[in-house]
Every structure is written in structure tokens, then in C-alpha cells.
Chains A and B, each alone.
Chain A
Amino acid sequence: MFAPITLRVAAGGVAVVMGPSGVGKSTLLDGIGGHLAHGFLAQGRVLIADRDVTALPAETRRIGVMFQDALLFPHLSVGDNLAFGLTPTLRGRSQRRAAVEAALAQAGLAGMYLRDPATLSGGQRARAALMRTLLAEPQALLLDEPFSKLDASLRAEMRQFVFDHARARGIAVLMVTHDPEDATAAGGIVVEL
């Protein structure tokens, strides 16, 4: 679809991919994340911290994804959504619960464990989705126009929230966006497709 590219993102850094609709930005993310629909064929390699994950299924790549919709699972409570993501290496009911509660508190969602995700505001949902992603302890994070559905004031706040958390945990972020402000705020490499 597009000319071959090579992209290196440092741990904790943010790279941005921009380009017109239909050029294959989302497909690039799908390829990296291991979500390519049948009919698509990716050439190239995906390396995470020198680990070649190209042949691995999505669930073992440790690459988180976020879309413009929060996509909280509608049948689970907010807390259980986070617990779905929480890495299985953390064992014990009470410890897992505590980890989820802590993450909820970080996202300004303290006490909302049992809430129906459908009753959260847009910003709350986006923060819950980020926490769910982070609890899985990904090594890289793919953002597909993540802030485009939030209104302007919320967008800057959410952007800051995501970048800060990614930096603090040393997660490499690759973001697809239409919004030049996103690119400026990211402060890293910008690739035009």
C-alpha cells in the first residue's frame, strides 16, 4: 500500500504516523499488533525490545491497542474490564482487586468498580480504557486516532494523561492521527505516509 518504511521508537517515546485517509495507516497498526484481517499480507518484521514478534499471535505480542472509541467490554463492570486486562502474573483475589482499585484511583475513577461502563462519561471511559491497557503491562502501545472523538478541552488533558503514563512505564507508543496538535504534543518522530 505504501512504500517500505523503517521505524524505531524508543521505550517511553512517541512516534506519530500521519497521512491521508485510505493510505493504510490503520492497516500498518493492525500489522504491527497482529490483527490483520485475512486478505491482508504484511511484509517486514516487528521487533519489541529486540524480541521478534512477527510470527506471534496478537495475544502474545504484548502490544496494547487503543481506538477512538474506548471499547470497554459492555458485559463487564468497569472494574472487571480492568481486571480483564490485568496481567495474569499477579495472583490472588485480593491483590488483583487492590491493583484494579489503585488503577481506578489513578484514572480518577475511585469507587467506580461496579459501575456499568455505559454510564461513564466520554473522558472517564477513555481513561478506564487506558488503565485496562496499561494493566496488561504492554511493551508497546498502538493508538489509532485515539483522541478524535473527545472534545477539545478533554483532548489535551487525555493526551497528556496517556503520554505521561507511557513515559513513566517506558512504553513505546506509535500513534496514527489526523490532528497536527497530536503530533506537536507527542514531540517525537513524525512519519508522513
Chain B
Amino acid sequence: MSRGRALRGLVLGVVGLGLIAPIALGLGQSLQAAFGILPALDLRVWSLEPWRMLLAQPGFGSSLQLSLLTGLGSTLIALVLALGFCAAGSFGRGPGRLRWLAPFLAVPHAAMAVGLAFVLAPSGWIARGLALAFGWNRPPDIASVHDAWGLALMLGLVVKELPFLLLVIASGLAQLPVARQIAAGRALGYGPGVAWIKLILPQLWPLIRLPVWVVLAYGLSVVDMAIILGPSNPPSLAVAVVRLFSQPDLAMILPASAGAMLQAALVVVCIAALWGAEAALRLLGRWWVPRGGRGMSWAPGLRLASGAVWALMALASLALVSLLLWSLAWRWSFPLIWPESWSAAAWASPSATWGAALYNTVILAAASTAVSLALAVLWLEAEADLPRAPWAEALIYLPLLMPQIGFLYGLNVWFLRAGLSGGYLAVIWAQALLVFPYVMITLSEPWRSVDPRLLRVAAALGAGRWRRLLGLRLPILLRPILTAAAIGVAVSVAQYLPTLFMGAGRIATLTTEAVTLASGADRRVVGVYASLQAALPFAAYAAAALLPMWWHRNRRDLRGGGV
């Protein structure tokens, strides 16, 4: 017992000092700067000047509005579509394993954004298709990417968050007796759609609430996608804040910090609003459900949602294909649908171009995933002999709900003082803040579902704690562990802001390069970086699926299932 407590204490200490404290310190640092305290510039008096400077930024109001619109809009659209798709699926043979989602889940936001920009741009595939139909010979003169309304950004966020929400909803539904309850509802005279909304949705929501909040927080504060797809002047709030932080005039750190705090407040307010809406809908439901109305058919709406999901995923596939195509195209003039000539020139000299970025990306992904995985295993192992601590589990979500811009800059100030900034260690640390929660979330369910009697038998056979862990638990969980690792790699590869800030601009990864190059550079070069960026998580997912299949090839009970 005492050993278990010591292990739990150790893990809590590592998580507290390694993950929670940096966020708190970074947040505190930015909060001080937002109110005029910045010892580095010899500013030691509280003031509201940073906020005045922030409000005076040209286009500030539009930035705020844009962030609200794209963040809330994309989350709600993606949520409604995902719910509709899964609801429509529950009446047939169920939404299934949704294995086909894996590539869309794996691809980093920036790569998806670059691909979408290729497809949506006035000279992109969609315009080329229309040109063929209408006989245009010049790209249309409209801003279909970087549009002032942020529609392209919203579309990008919907396309990228939809697979995540689908997966979350499907795994939530898998825990509920959906088919039997729908059948019971229909036997009472309710149409399937109404039965789903009145019976299933209220049970499903608590299971998906946190992931939806994560999506909302992400959408409100996204940076890389907003740079690639969003309007550039004025940009969304998060991008505007990043720009302020990176200005040579150090005094701009003050309004930037105020903007970072505003960004954090925006997320808090929007999550609170969603919570409020949930409470209001619950009240409404208490009035609506007992009325016993059998309602009308929801089938057309559900079909529409399913159709939209398939269309968006088709768009996503086009975007991914266009990355590879552009990286290999040589001549590809408007309005041709297919390149005229091919060349591997953009791939040809890795040492001068993408080699270093690939190397950095692989090192960072491997290190941050390994650290996160080790920590998650220790956490879950410590859980074995002590009651679960729900508050500690809630803390895991904190880095996902907190906008990165809110704490990363402040954290970097601490890293600078410790002499860590600009090195691998600082970037690995910052990435692990975001990799660990996903690894933990992925691994905890399979971990807890291992039959405890297996471990008792092992103990009765004389196997101590470490032998039970290394000889039994870990090999049995090989597949989920590798899945968690693959997700960790995907999360790490996708990180933009932590690499940018903690690396002090000195550590170039595929993501930072792709984002930098996306504005204006040669499409072939951007295509190479974005293709590689998408390929790394793909490779990790493929390895996570194939390796256990080979390893357990003679073990029937462990072969099935998977990602």
C-alpha cells in the first residue's frame, strides 16, 4: 500500500511540477505583463496601458469578432453534423468502427489547411473544375481563401474537427444501449430521429462534453490554420497576438500579453456560454420530453447531415491528394485538372531543404511521445492500489482547454531565465504538455479494462508489481499502447506555437516551415513539407496497426480490434 502511495505521489509530483506548474507560471507571467509589470523592461507599476494599446491596434474589433465567429461557428457546425451523422448511423448497422477516419485524424491541422488552400484557391481544383464547365480561361477574381469573413478558416476547422468529434461520439454511443432504447422508443410510437434526440442525446452529452469543449477552445485560439486559411488583415485574435509577440519592439509584449489574456478569457466565456446553453436546453427538455409529442420525421435532416459529412471528407481527401500532387508537379497551368509535366526537383535535395526539418520533427515527436507514454503508464500503474482521483484526471484536460497563446509566451520567459529556451529540451517539454493529455485519454480506457483477475493470478503465482507490469500488463496492452503512441506522434508533429515560441525560432520543424512557406512560396515546396508533415503521423498509425498484428500473430485473443 505504502509503495503505491509513494508511486502516486511521485507521479502527481511529476505531473504537477512538469505539466501544471509551467502552465500556471506562464499564465502568471503573461497576466503580470498584461497589467504593465515587465521587470525585463524595468516596468514595475500596475497599469492598464497594455489594454489601451491592445484596443488601439488597427482592426482589433474585427479580430475579436472573427475569432468568435470562426471558433463558435466551426464547433457548432461540426458538432451538429457529427451528431446527425452518428444518429443516422445508429438506425442501421451502427456507425461501425470508423476506421476510415484514421487518416483524417492523423493529418496535422497545418497540412490539412495547406491542402484545402490548394483546393479552394481561385486557381485551385474546384475553380479548375468550374472553369472546365463554364469555359473560363483565367482564375476567378474572388478571395476564396483568406476571405475577410473567415469562411475558409471555418471550413478548415470543420473539416479537421469533424473526424475527431465523430470518433468521440461513436465511442460514447458504444457505451450506451442505443439500439434497444431506440427500439423501446419506437415501440412507444416515437420516430427514430425523435427517439434519438429524446433518449440518446441526453445520455450521450455528458460523455462528449469535455471533448467538445476542447474543440471549442482549439477553434477559438487556433494559429497555424488561421495563418494559412484565415484573413491576413486584420487576422483572427490569436494570430494578431502572435504577431504582436514577434515584433522587434519589445514594448509590444505588453499589448500582446493583454491580448493573450483576452484570448484566454474568450475561451472561458465561450465554454461558459456553452455550459449555459446546455443548462437551458436541459430545462427545455424537461418541459418538452414529458409532453410526449411523437414529433415529425427527422430523416431528411439526418440525411442532409450525413451527406454533408461525406462531402466534407471527400474535400479533405482531395486536399490530401493535392499536397502530394503539387509536390511532384512541374507545369500545371490553369485550368488543367491534372499536371502537364512532373518533376521530383522539390524532393531532390533534402540536405538543403526539408532534411533538417524532418530530423527535428522526428526527434521532437519521439522524445515528447516517449516522455508522455512513460508518465501515463506510471500514472495508471499508481492508480492500481489507490482510489481514483477525479480532480487529478480533470487536471489532465487543462492544457487542452487553455489556449496555448495564454501561457506559452510567459512560460518561455521562465525558460529563458533558466537558460532552456531555444533548445530541444524546452520544445520537448512544451510539446509534452499537449501530448500527455491525449496519450493519457487514449490509454486509460484499455488499461482499466484489463481483467483484474489476470493480475491477481499473476500475483498469486509470485509475480511482484514490476513483473506484473512488464511481463503481463504492457504486453497485453501492446496495441493500445502503440495506438496512444501514434496519437502522441500526430499531436507532436502538428504543434506549431510551442515549437515557435520555445524553440525561439531556432528549431525548424515541418510544421513551422509549412506555415511559414504557405504564404506565397512555391506550391511545390510547400507541397513537399505538408506531404511529409502528413506522412509522419500516417506512418505512426500504420506501424501502430501492423506491429501488434505481427507480434501477436499467433495469439487469437489479442489479434482483433485496433485503432
Contacts and interface: CB of A to CB of B under 8 A. Distances in A.
B461 A67 contact: no
B476 A59 contact: no
Interface stretch (A68-76, A93-101, A156-164): A68-76
B445 interface: no
A96 B386 CA distance: 36
Contacts of B556: 116, 118-119
Which of A34, A69, A116: most chain B CB closer than 10 A?
A116
A34 B453 contact: no
A25 interface: no
Contact of B476 (A62, A74, A84, A142): A74
Nearest to B386: A38
Contacts of B451: 71
Contacts of B471: 84
Q: How large is the interface on B (under 10, 10 to 19, 20 to 34, 35 or more residues)?
A: 20 to 34
A54 B91 CA distance: 55
Which of A75, A85, A116: most chain B CB closer than 10 A?
A75
A152 B475 CA distance: 35
Contacts of B293: none
Given A69-B453, A74-B557, A118-B556, A133 B460 contact: yes
A160 B453 CA distance: 24
Contacts of A77: 554
B363 interface: no
A65 B457 contact: yes
B459 A34 contact: yes
A60 interface: yes
Contacts of B464: 57, 59
Interface in A76-97: 77, 84-85, 87-88
A98 to B, nearest CB: 19
Given A39-B387, A84-B471, A71 B460 contact: no
A136 B460 contact: yes
Interface string B438-471: 0000000000000111101111111111000001
B387 A38 contact: yes
B460 A138 contact: yes
A63 B460 contact: yes
B119 to A, nearest CB: 45
Given A39-B387, A118-B555, A85 B461 contact: yes
B460 A73 contact: no
B385 interface: yes
Contacts of B386: 38
Nearest to A33: B460
Which of A57, A59, A77, A129: most chain B CB closer than 10 A?
A59
If over half of B's interface residues share one DSSP class (helix, strand or loop), that class is named, otherwise mixed; here it is helix
Given A71-B451, A75-B555, A62 B462 contact: yes
Contacts of B304: none
Interface in A33-68: 33-35, 37-39, 57-67
Contacts of A73: 454, 458, 472, 476
Contacts of A58: 456, 459-460
Nearest to B4: A38
Contacts of A35: 456, 459-460
Interface string A89-129: 00000000000000000000000000011110000000001
B350 to A, nearest CB: 40
A30 B462 CA distance: 15
Nearest to A65: B460
A60 B478 CA distance: 28
Contacts of A118: 555-557
B378 interface: no
B57 to A, nearest CB: 55
Which of B461, B464, B472, B558: most chain A CB closer than 10 A?
B461
Contacts of B472: 73, 75
Contact of B558 (A37, A66, A74): A74
Given A38-B387, A74-B558, A136 B476 contact: no
Contacts of B463: 59, 84
Interface string B343-369: 000000000000000000000000000
A4 to B, nearest CB: 23
A142 B452 CA distance: 16
Nearest to A30: B456
Given A59-B464, A84-B471, A119-B556, A75 B476 contact: yes
B186 interface: no
Interface string B385-401: 11100000000000000
Which of A38, A62, A77, A119: most chain B CB closer than 10 A?
A38
B198 interface: no
Contact of B456 (A33, A38, A129): A33
B555 A57 contact: no
Contacts of B476: 73-75
14 contacts: A34-B459, A35-B456, A38-B387, A58-B456, A59-B460, A64-B460, A67-B453, A75-B476, A77-B554, A85-B462, A87-B462, A116-B554, A119-B556, A129-B457
Given A33-B456, A57-B464, A64-B461, 15 more contacts: A37-B452, A58-B460, A64-B460, A65-B456, A65-B457, A66-B457, A73-B458, A74-B476, A75-B555, A116-B554, A118-B556, A133-B460, A133-B461, A136-B461, A138-B460
Interface of A: 30, 33-35, 37-39, 57-67, 69, 71, 73-75, 77, 84-85, 87-88, 116-119, 129, 132-133, 136, 138, 142
The 10 residue pairs across chains A and B that have the minimum distance between CB atoms:
A58-B459, A118-B556, A74-B557, A65-B460, A85-B461, A75-B475, A136-B461, A118-B557, A35-B456, A59-B464
